[in-house]
Chains A and B, each alone.
Chain A
Amino acid sequence: MATLTIPSSVPSPTEDSEQLRKAFAGWGTNEGLIIEILAHRNAAQRKLIRQTYAETYGEDLLEELHKELSSDFERIVLLWTLDPAERDAFLANEATKRLTASNWVIMEIACTRSSHDLFMVRQAYHARYKKSLEEDVAYHTTGDFRKLLVPLVSSFRYEGDEVNMTLAKSEAKILHETISDKAYTHEELIRILTTRSKAQLNATLNHYNNVFGNAINKDLKTDPKDEYLILLRATIKCLTCPEKYFEKVLRLAINKQGTDEWALTRVVATRAEVDMQRIKENYHRRNSVPLDRAVSGDTSGDYEKMLLALIGCGDA
């Protein structure tokens, strides 16, 4: 469930564009107004605003925002305003250029979006970067990470609920064998995780747990420092229980010395319209403090206001 709140009577894109134009006018910027508008419009509405703004004023709203805003507030407003597919394409492209820590972002996008949405990302990537997503991911990763990430971003998983229990049993066995042999990049393990539907995977992993006594991620914890295994466990988590995965990312981002704003921004901007409500509930349950209080405690200014608006607190 989303945490995005939209007013019951939404102004027209023309009115919104006008207000935004006013917010940029003169010295300084009316950040509050920007939040009031953009943080309370859904993707379709934001798209219309961008179109109308460009038609009316001959300028790109995103360029204006980039000029007027700065730092973490700018980043979250820009990411939020983008169309979900463009946003994911941007994040993925940025991740391929950064260091290995950004394998997470690529995996996250590949595993937590629906098959259809992941395809839209691939299309948006063509349009924006004149390359394919998989070619950039392949080029910028190596070895075991490439073996896992390229099939993940290229997948178009079947989205139905049908499950083949016989297959689930046999594939749980295969997973158990490869893991017992510490063959964590074994082609069978990769095959199962990167091609099976999410429903099928769930059945397989449940069976794994039932028969072999441990959840698969427990068995994959053999070396807590191994970067590849960390990514593999996160992959499985993203595929089976994304809200738990995102709760953890938020928890680590907030608890980190100095806060990991990029992670915080990314999760809030990409999930506010999707399942932020569930993530919030998970967060509260796991940390005994509501997410908005944790966010307030760790951020400030317009950045904080934007975050709170998107996770369902502050003004509507």
Chain B
Amino acid sequence: MAVANEMGAITKAFSGFGVDEKSLITVLGKWHPEQTKSFRKASQFFIQDERLFERWIDKHVEQLKIEFLRFKSAVVLWTMHPWERDARLIKDAVIDGQKSTNVIVEIACTRSCDDLFGARKAYHSLFDRSIEEDVAYNTPGIERMLLIALVSSYRYEGPRFHEDSAKSEAKTLCTAIKDAGDKNPMDDQEVVRILSTRSKPHLKAVFKHYKEISGKNIDEDLVADSSLKHTVQCLSTPHTYFIKVLDAAMNPVADENTKEGLTRVLVTRADVDMKLIAEEYHKQNGVELAQKIEQMVKGNFKEFLLTLLARGDQLKK
């Protein structure tokens, strides 16, 4: 391999999602000291120190650490019992604060009632606190009521519901959202009640009636990126929601928090509905999810994700 190619390869190996372990072993491991020095001089990861040596830029080393660890984090998360996994994800989200409330909403709305309850039990064991006390304490203001209600829900899972009730609740939601004025619909007791206590089949009917009344899907009528919008997306079209998370994660300018969405979705949905999500992804984006991962992600981390993705094809639910 020509030197310039090699330098490009190593730069690439260090960049983006995950780390290309193979190239690092086969190329970097074989360089003579002069080659490595040339690399350091040319690379944006290094800076010329006043004492005349090329020094790693700290933030790049930090980033590298994170990228090297991505495979390990995915593996550990994957191996965990789903209850421990969700409990730990929620704990991390609670610590992260505002920017991770969508993770709490995601888990509360997309798990079965027994799995969500399992996470609450695991949370007791792991952290000696209840989920609701931590979420409540760390969620100020308007979002608190909704978030606590969501993590505390134990929704009925049978198919029965009342059509009339669904119709009138659709109307209530429509009024609350469209005639909100200055008031934030998340502050509306009825909105919280309907979204956090009704069963998913009931809500499906509610959303259907909502579209008939409003002409639009409920999430289209909501301001971008609020917990309320995420709630509604997770409850009505979870696959679309997960695709958004994946796309945001694989965006080249994504921050660390957003990037974690890739691992989280693949690990938590691999044995649930990853196949459907991938199909939806293809339909929506015109490219296979596997291809996109192949393109954006590297090394062992990539291989692991692709393996998780492929499970969907083998397992029949």
Do they bind each other? Answer: yes
* Interface residue ranges, A against B (CB under 8 Å): 119, 122-123, 126, 130-135, 138-139, 142-143, 146-147, 150-151, 154-160, 162, 187, 191, 194-197
Decide: A158 near B193, CB < 8 A? Known: A122-B154, A151-B148, A187-B145. no
Q: Which of B120, B129, B149, B158 contacts A130 (CB 8 A)?
A: B158
Structural contact, A138 and B132, CB atoms closer than 8 A: no
Q: How many A-B residue pairs have CB under 8 A?
A: 92
Cα of A194 to Cα of B144 in the assembled complex, Å: 13
Interface size class for chain B? Answer: 20 to 34
Q: Binary interface profile of B, 197-210, with partner A (CB < 8 Å = 1, else 0)?
A: 11100000000000
Q: Which of chain B's residues have a CB closer than 8 A to the CB of A122?
A: 154
Q: Which of chain A's residues have a CB closer than 8 A to the CB of B153?
A: 132, 134, 154
Distance from A85 Cβ to chain B, minimum over Cβ atoms (Å) = 13
Closest-by-CB residue of A relative to B117 is: A119
Decide: A196 near B199, CB < 8 A? Known: A146-B193, A156-B120, A191-B144. no
Distance from B152 Cβ to chain A, minimum over Cβ atoms (Å) = 4
Closest-by-CB residue of B relative to A129 is: B156
Q: Which of A130, A150, A157, A195 contacts B156 (CB 8 A)?
A: A130
Q: Which of chain B's residues have a CB closer than 8 A to the CB of A138?
A: 193, 197
Any chain A CB within 8 A of the CB of B189? yes
A130-B158, A156-B130 known; 8 new pairs, CB 8 Å cut-off, are A134-B153, A135-B155, A135-B198, A142-B189, A151-B152, A155-B130, A197-B129, A197-B130
Any chain A CB within 8 A of the CB of B160? yes
Q: Which of chain B's residues have a CB closer than 8 A to the CB of A150?
A: 149, 193, 197
Structural contact, A132 and B124, CB atoms closer than 8 A: no
Structural contact, B148 and A158, CB atoms closer than 8 A: no
Structural contact, B136 and A130, CB atoms closer than 8 A: no
Structural contact, B156 and A158, CB atoms closer than 8 A: no
In the complex, which of the residues B117, B129, B144 has the most CB atoms of chain A within 10 Å of its own CB atom?
A: B129
Cα of A187 to Cα of B142 in the assembled complex, Å: 10
Cα of A179 to Cα of B248 in the assembled complex, Å: 45
Interchain Cβ contacts under 8 Å between A and B, 11 examples? A119-B117, A123-B154, A131-B156, A134-B153, A135-B199, A138-B193, A156-B120, A160-B124, A191-B137, A195-B132, A197-B133
Q: Which of B124, B133, B189 contacts A195 (CB 8 A)?
A: B133
Q: Which of B117, B158, B193, B198 contacts A156 (CB 8 A)?
A: B117
In the complex, which of the residues A135, A143, A159 has the most CB atoms of chain B within 10 Å of its own CB atom?
A: A135
Cα of A147 to Cα of B189 in the assembled complex, Å: 8
Distance from A156 Cβ to chain B, minimum over Cβ atoms (Å) = 5
Closest-by-CB residue of A relative to B193 is: A138
Distance from A60 Cβ to chain B, minimum over Cβ atoms (Å) = 22
Q: Which of A154, A162, A187 contacts B128 (CB 8 A)?
A: A162
Q: Which of chain A's residues have a CB closer than 8 A to the CB of B117?
A: 119, 156
Structural contact, A130 and B133, CB atoms closer than 8 A: no
Q: Which of chain B's residues have a CB closer than 8 A to the CB of A119?
A: 117, 154
Q: Which of chain A's residues have a CB closer than 8 A to the CB of B158?
A: 126, 130
Structural contact, A134 and B129, CB atoms closer than 8 A: no
Q: Which of chain B's residues have a CB closer than 8 A to the CB of A135?
A: 155-156, 193, 197-199
Cα of A147 to Cα of B198 in the assembled complex, Å: 17
Closest-by-CB residue of A relative to B134 is: A195
Q: Which of chain B's residues have a CB closer than 8 A to the CB of A187?
A: 144-145
